Amino acid sequence: MLLAADVGNTNVVFALFATKDEGGLEIKARWRIATDPRRTGDEYAVWLLQLLKIEGFERTAITRIIVGSVVPRAIHNLTVLAEKYFGLTPLIAGEGDAAWGFSVDVDEPRSLGADRALNAIAAHAKYQGDLIVVDFGTATTFDAVDFNGAYKGGIIAPGINLSLDALVGNTAKLPRIAIEAPRTNSVIGTNTEDQMLIGAFWGYVSMMEGLIARMRAEIGRPAKVVATGGLAILFDQHTQIFDAVDTDLTLEGLAILAERASQ
């Protein structure tokens, strides 16, 4: 089995992949923990080994580990976890045998985040033609991937929760609210909470629709829009801009890299 770790700025997601009868890999389990660069390999082990046992998986069944991280300090501790508790040297996404394997047509290719590269790999493998990949994380990213799988660039916008935190944190009287769809279709709120939710939610939808329209116009060819990340399903219910919602895209990119490295 393959253990994949997707380290984001907010959460680390571990996923356990097994080989399907018809070939390829499928996710058998996934676990999430808050990202903390100071968390040691031993601390990860206490948490992860218990979860493996609870769900009936043997530690010895894991024969490969791959890590994709946008938090450089976390890589060392996850390497300690792999080597000390699984006896394995992990693959690091974007390095060595797990190099990206596609063209990065931007000014500073080395600055491309692992999550965005992994999304590009998985999206190109699963969907044909030119693509725009939207990932809802701490930041919301919009990435252009051409029909050959080359990464052409993109956009980084503040994540909706980050924007809302900044609004609440810099005002004296605005309350903290949860991100959800507004209760009505009206964009004229009659109380403070509704007005904040309308501004955050419909403002974000309008931003996405506008940016994607501009990207499509600049690409100049039909481009499918693939959404991933925790809020993709929520927004998909209130806009027609997504052609597909694929919440495991980053993890699937890790699995693809691990498979390539083993060939």
Which residues are marked as active site?
A: 115
| Ranges of H-type helices in 94-231 | 114-126, 160-169, 192-219
Distances (CA, A) of 203 to 140, 159, 192: 14, 12, 16
The two beta strands, 223-229 and 130-136, are parallel
Q: Three-class SS of residue 233?
A: helix
d(CA 65, CA 63): 7
The two beta strands, 64-69 and 244-245, are unpaired
What's the one-letter identity of residue 87?
G
* Cβ 232 vs Cβ 245: under 8 Å: yes
Distances (CA, A) of 249 to 22, 61, 124, 259: 20, 24, 10, 15
